[in-house]
A and B are shown apart, each in its own frame.
Chain A
Amino acid sequence: MGAAPPLGASMLAVFADAVSPELARSLDLAGYSWKHVSSADDAADNEPADGWQGAIIDCTADAESAWAFARTIRKSDGSPIKVIVLVGGAQLGDLHLRDDLFDDFCLSPFHPTEFEARLRHVLWSSGDTMGPRADLVEYGQLVLNLETYQATIGGRPLDMTYMEYELLKFLAQNPGKVFTREILLSRVWGYEYYGGARTVDVHIRRLRAKLGEEHAGLIATVRSVGYRFGQSRWST
Chain B
Amino acid sequence: MLDQHRDYVLRTVEERGVRLVRLWFTDVLGNLKSFAISPAELENALEDGMTFDGSSIDGFSRIQESDVLAVPDPDTFELIPWSEPGAAEARVFCDIRSLDGAPFEGDPRQVLRRTVQAAHDRGFTFYIAPDLEFFYFEQPVEGKKPQPLDYGGYFDLTTLDAAGDLRKETIRKLEQMSIPVEYSFHEDSPSQQEIDLRHTDALTMADSVMTFRLVVKEVAASQGVHATFMPKPLEGVQGSGMHLHMSLFRGDENAFYDGADPHALSPIAKSFMAGLLVHAAEITAITNQTVNSYKRLVPGFEAPVHISWARNNRSGLIRVPIAKKGNPLATRIEYRSPDPACNPYLAFSLLLAAGMRGIEQGYELPEEADANLFEMDDAALAKLGITQLPQSLSDALRTMERSELVHDVLGEHIFEWFLRNKRREWRDYKTHVSQFELDRYLRSM
Same complex origin of A and B: yes
> What is the distance, in angstroms, from B408's C-beta to the closest C-beta of chain A?
22
Stretch with Cβ within 8 A of A (4 or more), from B136-144, B195-203, B232-240 = B195-203
> What is the distance, in angstroms, from B91's C-beta to the closest C-beta of chain A?
11
Q: Are A194 and B178 in contact (CB under 8 A)?
A: no
Contacts A/B (CB < 8 Å), 19 sampled:
A72-B3, A75-B1, A149-B8, A149-B12, A161-B76, A162-B9, A162-B74, A182-B252, A194-B116, A194-B120, A195-B125, A196-B249, A196-B252, A197-B249, A198-B127, A198-B329, A202-B180, A205-B180, A205-B198
Q: A199 contacts which of B76, B81, B175, B201 (Cβ < 8 Å)?
A: B201
Known: A162-B8, A196-B201. A150 touches B125 (CB 8 A): no
B377 at the interface (CB under 8 A from A): no
Interface string of B5-18 (1 = CB under 8 A from A): 10111011001100
Q: B180 contacts which of A163, A197, A209 (Cβ < 8 Å)?
A: A209
Cβ–Cβ < 8 Å partners of A194 in chain B: 116-117, 120, 125
* In the bound complex, CA of A202 to CA of B127 (Å): 11
Cβ–Cβ < 8 Å partners of A75 in chain B: 1, 3-4
B79 at the interface (CB under 8 A from A): yes
**Residues of chain B whose beta carbon lies under 8 Å from any beta carbon of chain A:** 1, 3-5, 7-9, 11-12, 15-16, 74-79, 81, 116-117, 120, 125, 127, 175-176, 178, 180, 198-201, 204, 249, 251-252, 329
Q: Are A181 and B252 in contact (CB under 8 A)?
A: yes
Closest to A159 in B: B79
A192 at the interface (CB under 8 A from B): yes
Q: Are A202 and B199 in contact (CB under 8 A)?
A: yes
Q: A206 contacts which of B79, B127, B180 (Cβ < 8 Å)?
A: B180
> What is the distance, in angstroms, from B78's C-beta to the closest C-beta of chain A?
6
Cβ–Cβ < 8 Å partners of B9 in chain A: 162
Q: Are A163 and B75 in contact (CB under 8 A)?
A: yes
Interface hub of A77, A161, A181 (most chain B Cβ within 10 A) = A161
A71 at the interface (CB under 8 A from B): yes
Closest to B248 in A: A196
How many interface residues does A have (CB within 8 Å)? Answer: 31
Closest 8 CB pairs of A and B: A196-B125, A75-B4, A209-B175, A197-B252, A159-B79, A162-B8, A195-B201, A205-B180
Q: B198 contacts which of A190, A192, A202, A210 (Cβ < 8 Å)?
A: A202
Q: Are B200 and A159 in contact (CB under 8 A)?
A: no
Q: Are B251 and A197 in contact (CB under 8 A)?
A: yes
> What is the distance, in angstroms, from A86's C-beta to the closest C-beta of chain B?
23
* In the bound complex, CA of A160 to CA of B81 (Å): 12
A103 at the interface (CB under 8 A from B): no
> What is the distance, in angstroms, from A42's C-beta to the closest C-beta of chain B?
15
Q: Are A190 and B1 in contact (CB under 8 A)?
A: yes
A window 174-217: CB within 8 A of B: 181-182, 190, 192, 194-199, 202, 205-206, 209-210
Cβ–Cβ < 8 Å partners of B1 in chain A: 71-72, 75, 190, 192
Q: A157 contacts which of B16, B75, B76, B78 (Cβ < 8 Å)?
A: B16
> What is the distance, in angstroms, from A181's C-beta to the closest C-beta of chain B?
6
Cβ–Cβ < 8 Å partners of A157 in chain B: 16
* In the bound complex, CA of A164 to CA of B77 (Å): 11
